Chain A
Amino acid sequence: MRKLTTPFIGLSAGMLLVAPWIINAAPYESTMGLVQKVFYFHFPSAILFLVASLICGVHSFRFLFMKRQSADAWALSAAELGLLFGALTLVTGPLWARKAWGVWWVWDPRLTSSLLLFLIFASYLMLRKYGGPGSERLAAGMALFGMLNVPFIYVSVNVWRTLHPQTSVVPTLPTDMGIPLWFCFAAFTMLFLALLTLRATLELQRARVEALYLAEDEA
């Protein structure tokens, strides 16, 4: 995994550089026009936002119940990326909504629960930062509760009637809109994986250095 980070970052940087031209070449959506093009960044960041919370939850579970110390670094890394991609989602969404629905924000289930998940990530990181020693364990417990929100968000638009487009929109896109979408999705995913690995590696190394310092103090 670590060997792939450098090519992944290079490739995704290149793809994100080309992305504006590809998005520009895609056809205009009939009713929404230009603003619909936000979608090519909104969808990948929203999916990765949910994926980040799943990764965080699964690794927190491994840390808490299976006593894998290294899993904590992965959970932390996923939480930080969740905050980043969540911020992207919550910024691009209202930009689109302002034109499509006429308002920046509506209180419908999907928007509300996305904001909630963002807040959960923020409070998870806050607990780790200000909680003092032993807070990793508490944060892991918190992450398990946070992960429950994900299926709720994913299903919410299909169960409740809301303004937000349903999840079935994506597979039915016309090809010339699908290509830029999956192109951006691939670029975002590679960036996500590379950052995830780098951050987790950094955290593992930090933990090792700390353990060495402690060992030296005791000696």
Chain B
Amino acid sequence: MSEFFRVAWHIVRKDMTVEIRSREILFTTLLFAVSVVLVFSFAIVREGRAPDDVAAGILWVAISFAGTLAMGRTFERERYNDTLRALMLAPADRPAVYTGKLLGLLLLLGLVEIVLVPLVGLLFSAPIFAYPIMLITLLATGTIGFAAVGTLFAAMLVRVRSRDTLLPVLLYPITIPVMIAGVRGTAALFQATPDEPMARFWIGLLIFWDAIFLTLALWTFEPVMTE
């Protein structure tokens, strides 16, 4: 088991080293997420004010769009340098490779969310500090569910011709349950009279989906990535 985490840790460290030197994915993803928020504000704001209860939706749409971009880019980098083959040839468990990739992506998305959440709170006057622990739990569980499927799909699409268009096409229908739970849970916290039991219910559902998606992804990564 310690071998498993050692491999995963090495992959995370490798990804982070590459990322810290170029900062390419972090900056592009972050700017893209902010642009998504801006585009939505133009679509929704009337007479200088946004309607109530839109902050949660905008937040999660921005996270999912930015997440798709980041997933595509992390694996595009592996493909471009032809290093994915080296990763697959390495004498390591395939699920450990998957876990490493997933953790790297989660770290990246976490950094994006640190900027994104206060921004949405500021622009749409959402009470982000009212229930900090619950909000963080919602964001973490939602992002894990989304990234668990996304990492698997992005990895398996590396060899496919039209990967950039196929990734969102495959990913969004599958991860909609996670999106619904994330948006509803966050909206329950952001509304005028916060509904704590409701948010807790959606967190429970998110944990349920996370467990299913993670198990299935760890399990299918090996046969799917075998050439």
Contacts and interface: CB of A to CB of B under 8 A. Distances in A.
Interface of A is mostly: helix
Interface string B213-227: 100100010011011
A131 B223 contact: no
B162 A148 contact: no
A145 B216 contact: yes
B159 interface: yes
Contact of B166 (A64, A130, A146, A152): A130
Nearest to A120: B173
Contacts of B174: 120, 142, 145-146
B30 interface: no
A137 interface: yes
B153 interface: yes
A153 to B, nearest CB: 11
A161 to B, nearest CB: 14
Contacts of A152: 177
A131 B216 contact: no
A123 B220 contact: no
Which of A112, A126, A127, A149 has its CB near the most chain B CB atoms (within 10 A)?
A: A127
B226 to A, nearest CB: 8
Contacts, number: 67
B152 interface: yes
A144 interface: yes
A52 to B, nearest CB: 16
B169 A123 contact: yes
Interface string A124-143: 00110011101101101110
A123 B223 CA distance: 20
B103 to A, nearest CB: 21
B156 A141 contact: yes
Nearest to B159: A134
A137 B161 contact: no
A65 interface: yes
B149 interface: yes
B162 A130 contact: yes
Given A130-B162, A148-B212, A64 B149 contact: no
A219 B21 CA distance: 51
A119 interface: yes
Given A131-B166, A134-B159, A141 B220 contact: yes
A212 interface: no
A51 B207 CA distance: 27
B170 interface: yes
B227 A127 contact: no
A207 interface: no
B170 A142 contact: yes
A141 B159 CA distance: 15
Interface of B: 149, 152-153, 156-157, 159-162, 166, 169-170, 172-174, 176-177, 180, 212-213, 216, 220, 223-224, 226-227
Interface of A: 64-65, 112, 116, 119-120, 123, 126-127, 130-132, 134-135, 137-138, 140-142, 144-146, 148-149, 152
16 contacts: A64-B220, A116-B176, A126-B169, A127-B160, A130-B160, A130-B161, A131-B157, A131-B160, A132-B159, A134-B160, A135-B160, A137-B223, A138-B157, A141-B223, A144-B216, A148-B216
Closest 3 pairs between A and B when the two form their complex, measured CB to CB: A119-B173, A141-B224, A141-B220
